[in-house]
Structures are given as structure tokens and as C-alpha cells.
Structure 1
């Protein structure tokens, strides 16, 4: 399969490119700067957005596009940062819509990144892909506009991958969450009752590949493990795997003082389930938090 990946130099994108090449696909990384691509492979090509705008036909014959482009949310949410997060996602989706419209041979599928923030936050409700959208904060508003932009891409099969907290030692929020346990000071964050819809990076990549290959997958897909846990349970699992105590509570007001509005990522959440993936036959390699923690931080 010939696959174009936007955001292919990022945390998830780099792992996806490796997975695609590993199974024999031809990969085109679409990026702002060709110099940012460090991977080298006989089946790997690099093209810039500017080159695509000038010659979109260079991607003729592309069978699939995976759009992972967007400014990282792992930063303090100043007004300027929030605007970058918002505009980067809308711009990428708009560029892909323009590209697909220009191609004579359209890709069969676009997998567009999204987030479980689509459902808003709750301590008591359970959400799957049939649950309604609720705009309650910055992230849910970004996801709402992001998916609207993705829906304007003229493609036969659109998959909107609503991701939860991605856990891996190589990047994202997880290494920061583990650090207190390394220092024997891990514990409950806020009330500890907030839900964490998480997914292991390996399962995230496998789910993207599964979505590319499986014609039954279309529309929203929750990229989360089948066993969500509360924040307190998540921390206890880290402690068990590392043989460290889970005892030092961090109050919500301190998190807000340290991280500002971004603290919502750790203080609020949703119990989201991957109903669409499970119904299509996808099998998680790390379905429960203890197996994931043993793999990532277990002694």
C-alpha cells in the first residue's frame, strides 16, 4: 500500500512510519521541512507541503492518507499556544481536502487524528462512538472543529481516530507522570476519581494499521484501551510495576498553579470505550493497565 503520513516526524508519526515500512508499505512523509526527517529507507519518500501545493500530482496513486499533523498540546496553554493548536489542525485538514480534490485517483481512505475530548468530561458517564458531542472546554472545542474540517475531505472512507492518553516511554505525558514514582513521591492527583482513557503506543499503531486495512472501519473510532481506569488506579498500577509507593497526593489547586488550564488533562477525563474497534475484531496487545505498565516501567 502507498500511504502518505502528515505529522510523520512526530511522536506517533515516527512510530507509524516505522510500522508501515516494517510490513512492506511505501510511505510518503508530508512535512514542512524535509530536513526534519531523520529516518532513511528505500521505500520512504519525503515531500513538503509547498512541493505538494505546486505539484499535487506527485501523490497520484496514493491509496491512503494518515493525518497526524498538529501542534502539541503538551505545553502551557497561553492564548498564543491555544491558537497554534487550533489553527495547525484546521490547516492540515484543509490542505488535505485541497490535495485530495486535485488528485485524479483519490485515496480510498483518510485516517484523521482526533480525541476523546469530543465527548466532554464526566465522572459517571460511559462513552462510545455513538455518544453525542459535548463542547465544554478548550480541547472539546478544538476536536469539534477538527472533525468538521476532516469531514470536508472528499474521500470514500474517513476514519476519525479519537485518541485518549497515549502512553510510551519515548514521549508525550507518560514520562512526566512516571517521574514522581522514580523519586518515591508518586500518588493521587486531585480527587483521583477522574477517568483516564489510555492506550499503549503499540496498540495505537496497530489500530491505525487495522483501520487502513479493514473496510468495515469507518467514521469515529475510539483509540483507547478496553479497560479505562481512574487516575488513582492508573497511579497505583505505575507503583506496582515499579515497586514504588503510591502515597503522596497532589491537590488540584497545585496542578492548576503549575500547569494552568492544561491541568484539565490530568484533573478531568472521560470513561471512553473502543466499541467500534472491538466489534470489528481488533485485539489489544495491552488491554489492561497492569500489562501496559509491566511492559513500560516494570522491573
Structure 2
């Protein structure tokens, strides 16, 4: 299949491209920066004035949208929040334009999403059928993102929303940031420590995308998390144990808000 990945230079995007290449698929990565194509990957410029990627793509079988400013980099200032939100809306809008301009529509759009669409709770269990949405920055962003991507249905394109949990990997995702205090011998419970961490290993996240591509009966939201979520306190203890670092300094919630920025 000819598979186009927007956000193919990110952590999950790189791993996904590698796996799909191994499986023999034709891979195209949409990029803002000029990159030299190889025998395995064709790079096509987009999101800059004068770019018309649809002219280079031809007939596409699958679109995968992973594009957007990372939520794991930088403080959540108002400026950064705007970048996170706008980058997702703009990229998705451009993919919809590409779909509209394509004589033969792709069979499926796999659109990244996040479990941040659900409200924070210590006892609720959320499934793909849950209707509750969080009324905070991340919840509103994910809700608007999915609503925009859903417009692909109007072109007869099967659309899947991959609601990723906390993605873990040594090279990227949330783990490097979460492990940093332990590496500095300053790791400990955040707040009360009862918060749930619904995590997923990056390879499982990548394989879930491939599963969604290959199964025509899958559409709408899909929660991509491990079946064994952990409380924050237990999660932190495991990080400390693996890194052979102590888990002892409690970190008050207000300190984390100062460090990470406002999330409302």
C-alpha cells in the first residue's frame, strides 16, 4: 500500500515508518523541511506557501496524521498551548484539503488523538463509548481535533482516532521527562500519588496504528493503552527501581504546575 505519514519525523512517526517499510509498504512523509528522499522514503513538502503535495502524492491508500507540536516539550504557557492547538488544527485541515483534491480518496485516515479527552478521575473507567469530555486545555484540544478529522467521513474515508495514553520509550515520549528527577536523585511522589497513569509502550502504539490500518471494520475512537494502568506513586517507584535511584521526595502539585505551566 501507499501510505502517507504526516508527522513522520516525530518519535512515533519514525518508528511507524520503519515498521511499515519492513512490511513492504510504499512510504511518503509530509515534511515542512527540505529532506533528501531515499529508496525507502519519499519526502514531500507541505504547509508552506506554494506547496501542493497532492500533485506529488498520486493515489494514496492510507493517510496517517501524527502532526502537531509535542506536549512533552516545554512549559505549557499560553503561547505553547496555542502552538499545540493550532499545529493540530492546521495540519488536519490541510489533510482534508488534500483528500478533497484527490480524484481517488484514501481508504482510511488514521488520526492521532489522546486519552486527555476524558476527565481526570480516580475511580471512573473510560471506554470508547464514554461520552464525558474534559473541560480543560487538553480535553478541548482533543475534542476539536477529532471533530475536525471526522470531516474525512464526508468523502467516504474511514476515520480512526487513536487515543494514545502516556507513550513510553527511552528515546522519546513522556518517559525521559518523567525519569529526569530520578536521574537527578530528586524523584518522588507527585501530589497525592493516587493519579492513574494509563501508559502504553511506543512499539504497542505503533502496532496499534498498523492494526487500525489493516482492519476495515475499525473506525472512530480507539483507546491505545496498556490493560494494566498504574497509580502515579507505583509508577514512580518502578522508575526509581529501574534507574537504581531513590523514590523519596514528595513533589507538591503546585510545584508541578509552576514547572509545567498552566493547563487550563
Same fold (TM over 0.5): yes
Q: Which residue of 1 aligns with 2:17?
A: 17
Secondary structure of 2:262's counterpart equals: helix
Cα separation, partners in 2 of 1:55 and 1:66, compared to 1, 3 Å? closer
- Does the Cα contact within 8 Å between 2:107 and 2:157 map onto a contact in 1? yes
- Deviating more after overlay: 184-193 vs 121-130: 184-193
Provide the rounded CA distance (Å) in 2 between the counterparts of 1:114 and 1:155. 20
Q: Which residue of 1 aligns with 2:255?
A: 254
Cα separation, partners in 2 of 1:225 and 1:133, compared to 1, 3 Å? same
Query: RMSD value over aligned CA atoms?
Result: 1.9
Provide the rounded CA distance (Å) in 1 between the counterparts of 2:50 and 2:58. 11
How far does residue 246 in structure 1 lie from its aligned partner after superposition? 2.0
- Does the Cα contact within 8 Å between 1:163 and 1:223 map onto a contact in 2? yes
Provide the rounded CA distance (Å) in 1 between the counterparts of 2:27 and 2:108. 15
How far does residue 72 in structure 1 lie from its aligned partner after superposition? 1.6
- Residue by residue, what CA displacement relative to the aligned partner does 1:27-58 show, whole Å, maximum 9, x if unpaired? 000011123x7xx6413101011599535242
1:44 to 41, 44, 47: 41
Structure 2: stretches of 5+ with no match in the other structure? none
Q: Which residue of 2 aligns with 1:107?
A: 106
Provide the rounded CA distance (Å) in 2 between the counterparts of 1:257 and 1:217. 41
- Does the Cα contact within 8 Å between 2:190 and 2:252 map onto a contact in 1? yes
- Residue by residue, what CA displacement relative to the aligned partner does 1:116-137 show, whole Å, maximum 9, x if unpaired? 1111211110101011132320
How far does residue 149 in structure 1 lie from its aligned partner after superposition? 0.6
- Does the Cα contact within 8 Å between 2:7 and 2:65 map onto a contact in 1? yes
- Deviating more after overlay: 138-147 vs 174-183: 174-183
Q: Which residue of 2 aligns with 1:173?
A: 174
Provide the rounded CA distance (Å) in 2 between the counterparts of 1:185 and 1:33. 38
How far does residue 103 in structure 1 lie from its aligned partner after superposition? 0.9
- Name the structure where helix makes up a greater proportion of residues: 1
Cα separation, partners in 2 of 1:52 and 1:118, compared to 1, 3 Å? farther
TM-score (norm 1): 0.82
- Does the Cα contact within 8 Å between 2:44 and 2:53 map onto a contact in 1? no
- Deviating more after overlay: 120-129 vs 238-247: 238-247
1:218 partnered with 2:215: no
How far does residue 76 in structure 1 lie from its aligned partner after superposition? 1.4
Provide the rounded CA distance (Å) in 1 between the counterparts of 2:259 and 2:239. 22
- Does the Cα contact within 8 Å between 1:164 and 1:199 map onto a contact in 2? yes
Secondary structure of 2:132's counterpart equals: coil
Q: Which residue of 2 aligns with 1:29?
A: 29
Secondary structure of 2:123's counterpart equals: coil
Cα separation, partners in 2 of 1:55 and 1:137, compared to 1, 3 Å? closer
- Residue by residue, what CA displacement relative to the aligned partner does 1:196-241 show, whole Å, maximum 9, x if unpaired? 1111011111111111111222110111111111111111222333
1:73 to 65, 71, 74: 71
Q: Which residue of 2 aligns with 1:284?
A: none
Provide the rounded CA distance (Å) in 2 between the counterparts of 1:46 and 1:163. 26
Provide the aligned length of Structure 1 versus Structure 2.
260
- Does the Cα contact within 8 Å between 2:78 and 2:262 map onto a contact in 1? no
How far does residue 242 in structure 1 lie from its aligned partner after superposition? 3.1
Q: Which residue of 2 aligns with 1:121?
A: 120
Provide the rounded CA distance (Å) in 2 between the counterparts of 1:155 and 1:29. 23
Write out the 4+ residue segments of structure 1 that deviate beyond 6 Å after TM superposition. none
Cα separation, partners in 2 of 1:179 and 1:55, compared to 1, 3 Å? closer
Provide the rounded CA distance (Å) in 2 between the counterparts of 1:93 and 1:201. 23
